[in-house]
A and B are shown apart, each in its own frame.
Chain A
Amino acid sequence: MAPAGSREAVAAALASGADVVYVGLAGWSRGGSLAGLPAGELAACVALVREAGARLYLALNVVPDLRALEVFWEKLAGWVALGVDGLILNDYGLLREVRRRYPGLGLTASVGCGALNREDLLFLAAAGADTVVLPPGIAPEEVAAVASGGMAPAVEVFARGVREPFLLGRCWLAGYLRRVAVPREGRTLYPGSARRGGTCGRPCRVPWNWGGRAAGPLPEEEIAVYHHLAEYVAAGVRYFKIQGRDLPPERVRVLVEELRAGLERLDHGGVAYTGRYP
Chain B
Amino acid sequence: MHTQVATLEEIDSGYLEPYDAVYLGHPYCGRYPGNLLADHGALREAIRRLRYLGKRAYLSTPAAPTSPELPAVREAVAVAVAAGIDAVEAHNLGLIHMLAREFPGLELHAGCFAGVYTHLGALELKRYGVTRITPNFELSLDEIDYLKEATGLEVTLWVHGKIPLGITRDCFLLAYGECPAVCREDFWLRHRDWVLKCMGTVVLSGPDLCMVEHLADLLARGYRTFCIGTLTEGPAYRREVGRIYREALEAAGRGGAGARDLPERLATHSPHGFCNGYFFGRSGRDYVGAAVPG
A-to-B contact residues, CB < 8 Å = 63-64, 66-67, 69, 91-97, 113-124, 126-127, 135, 142, 145-146, 165-167, 169-173, 175-181, 188, 190, 192-193, 195-196, 203-204, 206-211, 213-214, 218-219
A residues near B69, Cβ cutoff 8 Å: 117
Most chain A CB inside 10 Å of its own CB: which residue of B65, B69, B93, B189: B93
The answer for the CA separation of A121 and B68 in the assembled complex, in Å, is 14
Contact A166 to B166, CB < 8 A, known contacts A120-B92, A208-B191: yes
Contact of B163 among A117, A142, A169, A176 (CB under 8 A): A176
List chain B residues, Cβ under 8 A from A95.
Answer: 124
**For residue B172, which residues in chain A have a CB less than 8 angstroms away from its CB?**
165, 218-219
When the two chains form their complex, are residues B137 and A172 in contact, meaning their CB atoms are under 8 A apart? yes
Complex interface: chain B residues within 8 A of A175 (CB): 138, 278, 283-284
Inter-chain CA distance A180–B278, complex, in Å, is 10
Q: Which residues of A contact B103 (CB under 8 A)?
A: none
B120 within 8 A of A: yes
Cβ contact of A124, chosen from B93, B122, B167, cutoff 8 A = B93
The reply to whether B93 and A113 contact each other, CB–CB distance below 8 Å, is yes
Q: In the complex, what distance in Å separates the CA atom of A94 from the CA atom of B198?
A: 33
Q: How far is the CA of A91 from the CA of B66 in the complex (A)?
A: 20
Q: Considering the complex, which residues of chain B in the window 73-123 have a beta carbon less than 8 Å from any beta carbon of chain A?
A: 92-98, 113, 115, 117-123
- With a CB–CB cut-off of 8 A, which chain A residues contact B115? 91-92, 113-114, 169-170
In the complex, which residues of chain B have a beta carbon less than 8 angstroms from the beta carbon of A193? Answer: 138
At the interface, yes or no: B272 with Cβ under 8 Å from chain A?
Answer: no
Docked-complex contact A94 and B98, CB < 8 angstroms = no
B283, A116: Cβ atoms closer than 8 Å: no
Known contacts A173-B165, A176-B285, A178-B283, A123 near B138 by CB under 8 Å? no
- Please, what's the 1-or-0 string for B123-157, where 1 marks a CB less than 8 Å from any CB in chain A? 11000000000001111001100110000000000
| Contact A170–B113 (Cβ < 8 Å) | yes
List of B residues within 8 angstroms of A118 by Cβ: 67, 70, 94
The contact size tier of chain B is 35 or more
A93 touches B97 (CB 8 A): no
Residues of A within 8 A of B96 (CB): 123
How far does the Cβ of B225 sit from chain A's closest Cβ, in whole Å?
20
When distances are taken between beta carbons in the complex, the residues of chain B under 8 Å from A177 are: 194, 283-285
B203–A166 touching, CB < 8 Å: yes
Given known contacts A66-B118, A67-B146, is B165 in contact with A171 (CB within 8 Å)?
A: yes
- Give the residues in chain B near A190, CB-CB below 8 Å: 138
Given known contacts A93-B121, A207-B191, is B113 in contact with A196 (CB within 8 Å)? no
User: B67 touching A142 by the CB < 8 A rule?
Assistant: yes
**Roughly how many angstroms separate A213 CA and B182 CA in the complex, as a whole number?**
13
Asked if A92 contacts B124 (CB within 8 A), the reply is: yes
Give how many A-B residue pairs fall within 8 Å (CB-CB): 188
State A92–B118 Cα separation when bound (angstroms).
9
Q: Which residues of B contact A63 (CB under 8 A)?
A: 117-118
B169 contacts the other chain (CB 8 A): yes
Known A-B contacts A116-B94, A165-B166, A175-B138; A94 and B284 likewise in contact (beta carbons under 8 Å)? no
Interface residues of B in 142-188 (CB under 8 A from A): 142-143, 146-147, 163, 165-170, 172, 175-176, 185, 187-188
**B163 touching A167 by the CB < 8 A rule?**
no
Of B94, B122, B165, B175, chain A has the most CB atoms within 10 Å of the CB of B94
Min CB gap B96→A, angstroms:
7
B34 at the interface (CB under 8 A from A): no
A-B contact pairs, 29 of them (CB 8 A): A63-B118, A66-B118, A66-B146, A91-B120, A92-B124, A93-B120, A93-B124, A96-B120, A96-B124, A116-B67, A116-B92, A117-B66, A117-B92, A120-B94, A135-B169, A146-B67, A166-B166, A167-B166, A170-B166, A171-B166, A172-B165, A175-B278, A176-B165, A176-B205, A181-B282, A190-B138, A206-B191, A213-B176, A218-B172
Do A67 and B143 touch across chains, with their CB atoms under 8 A apart?
Answer: yes
| A172 close to B93 (CB less than 8 A) | no
CB neighbours (8 Å) of A67 from chain B are: 142-143, 146
Q: Given A206-B191, A208-B189 in contact, is the A116-B176 Cβ separation under 8 Å?
A: no
Asked if A93 meets B283 with Cβ closer than 8 Å, knowing A66-B143, A123-B96, the reply is no
B203 touches A173 (CB 8 A): yes
| One of B122, B139, B165 near A93 (C-beta < 8 A) | B122
Q: Is the CB of B117 within 8 A of A66?
A: yes
Residues on A with C-beta less than 8 A from B97 are 119-120, 122-123, 126
